[in-house]
Chains A and B, each alone.
Chain A
C-alpha cells in the first residue's frame, strides 16, 4: 500500500517536473530541434523524442544541478544522438575553426545568400559538430559561460573562446550573406 503511494507520488513529481519544464523551456527546445534538424517531419519526430526523454529523465532528477542545465543537457544528448544516428559520423560536419576558414573564403556564402536571416543562422549551426553546436545554441539562448560550461562540460575559458569565435563567425557569416543579397 505504502509502496504504491510512493510510486504514484514519484510519478506525480516526475509529471509535474516535466510539465513545468515543458512550459518554461518549450520554445527553447523547439529552437534547439530546429538547429539540429532541417527536415520538418524529422524535426517533429526529434522534438517529440526530446520531450519523451525529458519526461523520462525527471524520474532520476535529484536537483544537483539546475532544472535549466538538466533540460538542456538531456535535450542536447537526444539531439546529438540523432545527429550521430542520421549522419553515421560527424565527418561531414565541421568545427568552428573550419567555419572561420569557410567564411574567409566566402565560398559557402553563395549557398545561403538567398535564404532568410534565420535560415542563415540555422544553416550555419547545422554545419557544426555537436559540441560546437551546443555552445552556439546556448550562446543564442542568452546563457553565460558558466551555464554553457555546465551543460557541455567545457571549461569556462574554452567556452569563452568558443563564444568569441561564434560571435565573430555569426556576424561575418550574417553580414557577408546580406552583402551578397544586396
Chain B
C-alpha cells in the first residue's frame, strides 16, 4: 500500500503546508528598490578598496623609504594606474549582471548558466584587477624593505613576520579563489551537458 502513488501523498503534504502571504504594496516596492540601490552602492564602494590599499602602500613606502623614492615611484604608479583601470573593468562586470526580474524570457537552465558564468568572470576580474595591483604594490613595499636592510640596522628581520603573514595570506587567498573558479567552471560544464541533453 505504501508504494502506491507516493507522489500524491507528498504533493498533498506539500500543498497543505501553512504559508504566510507576502504581497508588495507600493510602499514595500519603494523600500525594496531603495534596498537594491543601497546594495549596489555598497558593492561600488567595495571596489574602491583596491586603489585605496595601493595608495596607502604608495604613501607608506615613500614615507618610510625616501632614499629609494626614484625606484619606488614608477612601480607604485604602475600599481595605482592598474588598480584605477581595474575600477572600470570591475564595475563593468558588476553592471553586466542580468537582474532576475528582467530574465523572464530565459529558462532556468539559461539563467543559472549565465549567473554562474557572470560570477566566474567577476572572480577572474577581481584576481586580475584588484589582487594583481595589490600584489605589485606589496611586492614593491617588500622590495623596499629588502633594499633598506644593511648589516648595521637591517629592516628585514623586523619585517619578517609581516612578510611571512603577507605571503601566507596571498597563497591562501589565491588558492581559495582559484578553487572557487574551478568549481564554478565545473558547475557551468555540468549545466552545459544538461543543456546539450535537452537539445
Contact = CB atoms under 8 A, between A and B. Distances in A.
Interface string B83-118: 000000000000000011111111111111001100
A76 B197 CA distance: 21
B152 interface: no
B14 interface: yes
Nearest to A61: B104
Interface residues of B, number: 50
A48 interface: yes
B70 interface: no
A93 to B, nearest CB: 9
A36 interface: no
B102 to A, nearest CB: 7
Interface stretch (B18-26, B55-63, B124-132, B142-150): B18-26
A154 interface: yes
B104 A31 contact: no
A73 B107 contact: yes
Contact of A142 (B11, B109, B180): B11
Nearest to A153: B107
Q: Residue among B9, B111, B197 with the most chain A CB within 10 A?
A: B111
A77 B100 contact: yes
Contacts of A167: 6-7
A115 interface: no
Please classify how large the interface on chain A is, using the bins under 10, 10 to 19, 20 to 34, 35 or more.
35 or more
A152 B109 contact: yes
Nearest to A132: B194
Contacts of B102: 56-57, 60
A43 to B, nearest CB: 9
A121 B10 contact: yes
A81 interface: yes
A84 B183 CA distance: 12
B198 interface: yes
A155 B187 CA distance: 19
A130 B108 contact: yes
B99 A56 contact: yes
B187 A89 contact: yes
Given A51-B23, A52-B101, A77 B111 contact: yes
A118 B13 contact: yes
B104 A70 contact: yes
B6 A171 contact: yes
A108 to B, nearest CB: 17
Contact of A30 (B3, B21, B110): B21
13 contacts: A47-B22, A48-B22, A73-B106, A73-B108, A73-B111, A77-B106, A80-B112, A121-B13, A139-B7, A142-B15, A150-B107, A171-B3, A175-B3
Given A52-B24, A64-B105, 9 more contacts: A31-B15, A55-B24, A80-B108, A84-B112, A118-B14, A121-B14, A142-B11, A152-B107, A158-B198
Interface of A: 18, 22, 26-27, 29-31, 34, 44, 47-57, 60-61, 64-65, 70, 73-74, 76-78, 80-81, 84, 88-91, 95, 117-118, 121, 129-131, 134, 139-142, 150-155, 158, 167, 170-171, 174-175
Closest 9 CB pairs of A and B: A153-B107, A171-B6, A56-B101, A153-B109, A53-B101, A30-B19, A77-B100, A52-B32, A152-B108
